[in-house]
Amino acid sequence: MELTQADVDRVVAAALAEDVGDGDRTTAALVPADAHARAQLLLEEPGVVCGVRVAAAVFRAVDPNVRVEALVDDGDAVTDVPAVLATVEGPARAVLTGERVALNLLGRLCGIASLTRRYVELVDGTGATILDTRKTTPGLRSLEKYAVRCGGGANHRAGLYDAVLVKENHLRIAGGIPAAVAALNGARDVEIEAETAEQVQEALDAGVGRILLDNMSPEQVAGAVGLVAGRAHLEASGGVSLGTVRAYAETGVDFISVGALTHGARSLHVSLEVLD
C-alpha cells in the first residue's frame, strides 16, 4: 500500500478546510501580507520520524511559495532532542496558517512510527512480522499505514477490498469453516479466523493457507504452531501488548497483528519555531 501524492493531498485538503474554514482571522489581522518568515519544524522528544513530507504538503497547499527542506528522512530514529526535522521558509501568513495542521499530522505519524518500532524491536530475532490492522483513524488510513512501515512494521491489508479475511461473524452467518471455504471456491488465498484448536484443525482440513489465531494466549498459540507444523501461515491477533508481544513471537508464529499500532499510539511532541 504505497502512500501516493493523491492520498496526501486529499488528507491535507480536508484538514485545512476543517481548521481554516473561510480564513485565518488572527493571522490576517496581525501579520502583514508581505511579511516573510523562516521557521524550523522540531521533534521535542525521542522517536521515529515520519510525516515531514506530509507537513510540507500542508504549507504548499496554503501557499506554493513556502519552501520546506527536510533535514532527516522518514524512518530515522532520533534520540538527541530537540531535533530540527525541517526548515520552513516563505510568506509568514502561510507558515502560521498551516502550522497546526502540519504539526497535528506530523506528530500523529511520528507517534505511530515510534510505537511500531518498539514492537518490532521486541520481536527481533524471532522471525515474526509485526502487522497493523484496519483499526485506523477514518480518512487517515493510507498515512497511518505508511507510518507503520516507517516504524519497521508491515501492512496487513488496505481495506475490505484487497484480501479475504473470514472472521467470527462471517463464520456464524456462513455456517462454519467448511461451508465458508466451500462458498469461496478455494482456500489458499483466504485467511480464516480461529478461536480454538478445533477450528484450527478445521481450517487445515479445508486447505486454508493462512489462519488468524484470535485472542489466544501464547501457550495456545504455541499449541497451534505445533498442530499446523508449517502447513499454513499463522497470525496471532487480539490483546497483544508491549509486555506480551515477545512471548507471542517466541511461539514460532509467522505474524503478529497489533491494532494498537494505530488506534493506541500517542502523538509525539512536535513544534514549529519562527526564527525571524
Mean pLDDT, range 171-177, rounded to an integer? 95
Q: Which domain, by its residues, includes 193?
A: 121-263
pTM of the predicted model, to two decimals?
0.95
Q: Are residues 126 and 258 in the same domain?
A: yes
pLDDT of 215 over the 90 cut: yes
Catalytic-labelled residue, pool 74, 193, 235, 254: 193
Select which of 135, 157, 195, 250 is catalytic. 135
Same domain, 91 and 207: no
167 is catalytic: yes
Q: What is the Rg, in whole angstroms, of the alpha carbon atoms belonging to the chain? A: 22
For 206, the 3-state DSSP assignment is coil
End-to-end CA, the chain: 40
187 band by pLDDT with thresholds 50, 70 and 90: low
Give me the catalytic one of 25, 67, 167, 266.
Answer: 167
Total domains, the chain: 2
What would the mean pLDDT of 253-268 be, rounded to a whole number?
98
Q: CATH no. for residue 185?
A: 3.20.20.70
Pairwise CA distance, residues 263 & 116, whole Å: 12
Q: Which CATH number belongs to the domain containing residue 18 in this structure? A: 3.90.1170.20
